[in-house]
Amino acid sequence: MEGILTADTSQYLKSNRLSEKEIAIRRIKNSAPIFIIGSQRSGTSFLYRLVQRHLRIGFGRDNGHFIRLIKLLPFYGDLNELDNLRRLIQDIIEIPDFAKRFKGLHIDVDEFIENMEERTYAEIVRRFYAEWAYLKGADRWGGKTPDYAIHARELFQLFPDAKFVHLIRDGRDVALSLSKLEWGPKDPLLAALHWGKRVQSAINFGRDLGRATYIEMFYEKWVQHPEREFARLLRFIDYSGDQFTLVREFEKVTSPKVKRDNYNKWKKEMGPTQVKAFERMGGELLDFLGYEVTHPELLGENVSLRRLIWHHLQNAFRKLLRGEGIKGLISKARTYREEYKLKFRRTRKTVSPGRPLSGNGDQSFASS
């Protein structure tokens, strides 16, 4: 067959042959993504760092931008239209937060579009993360944005092949950690509300799925038995290499660095009043998850609106005394401003003359 190939045919095949880089990026892009979800301060960064040392997974942290952009997709119209597709990709690249969170990643819009295998929003996100993973020398991609615990259903709609690792930590230890952050709630009851919303959302999502898609892991088990939990994780993500050897390597290199007593801090650092305030709101979920509850008499008790307002006022007062709160408001304002600017720009531009704004919006959600 080779003997009858003309010079023109050989040149055509050569020019259309994918580069090694592009083959690698497509392989990463089409792999099943792994999302680490859970409440902030539940140990998601701890787990992410452990995994990064031993598994070649390129985790990105987009701070929720890709989920928020879903609401704006109708303003871009049919993504099969080149101009619409180009504007969307360009707008993503121009989000100021992306340059910081994906430092060193440079996207050429024309090349990006040329290498897309289908024109959907899911393909855009997959490709973006795949290029980031390739830059980091990884061979699989994933996301580590804690608030995706609230938006797991949207992620699953985009990526039905995704695997979700839900990391859960005792909410009272989470409350202690949150209180040390500028944006974090200083009031234990509000910390319980923050923690409970994210944990319960992820549970409600994940327990409707099969074991091949969703797994619950506990921070306390990771710090006490890291080798055992690492082996569980390898089985869940369908790691194709030598699992036994990798677990032994993990046990030798990483396990000794784990602080085995880094849990139940609330027993020493939270006062009785704080513990009671947290369990008034979060005790039922703590009990459901198998954690020790010190005030079982509060289980099932509803928190009144009046009490909730009072705790919000206390929280605001404590933040103001510490000189905090203002920065948090400014940060939120910046986030909403970025979204508004994108939406405002889209409404002012003509999106494919003669076509409705929604275009084939349903098709844009399809996954590769």
Closest residue by Cα to residue 37 from 157, 184, 128, 164 = 164
Task: Give the count of domains, the chain.
Answer: 1
For position 359, what pLDDT does the model report? Answer: 35
Distance CA 115, CA 43 (A): 36
The pLDDT tens digits of the residues spanning 163-219 come to 999 999 999 999 999 888 877 788 888 899 999 999 999 999 998 888 899 999 999
CATH number at residue 330: 3.40.50.300
* Residue 141 within a domain: yes
Burial code of 13-32, b = ≥16 C-beta within 10 A, e = fewer?
eeeeeeeeeeebbbebbebb
Measured in residues, the chain has a length of 368
* Residue 305 within a domain: yes
For position 326, what pLDDT does the model report? Answer: 56
For position 5, what pLDDT does the model report? Answer: 41
Instruction: Kindly write down the DSSP assignment for every residue of 215-279, as one continuous string.
Output: EEEEHHHHHH-HHHHHHHHHHHTT--S-HHHHHHHHHHHTGGGS-TT-S-THHHHS-HHHHHHHH
* Residue 4 within a domain: no
* Residue 5 within a domain: no
* Residue 2 within a domain: no
Distance CA 259, CA 170 (A): 16
Q: Which residue has the tokens 């005394």?
A: 321
Closest residue by Cα to residue 146 from 31, 236, 230, 62 = 62
* Residue 158 within a domain: yes
* Residue 322 lies in domain: 20-363
* Residue 124 within a domain: yes
For position 320, what pLDDT does the model report? Answer: 59
pLDDT: which is higher, 362 or 168: 168
Helix (H) or strand (E) holding 51: helix 44-54
Q: Is the pTM of this model over 0.95?
A: no
- CB under 8 Å to 268, separation ≥6 — which residues? none
For position 8, what pLDDT does the model report? Answer: 46
The pLDDT tens digits of the residues spanning 48-82 come to 888 877 888 988 888 788 888 998 999 999 999 99
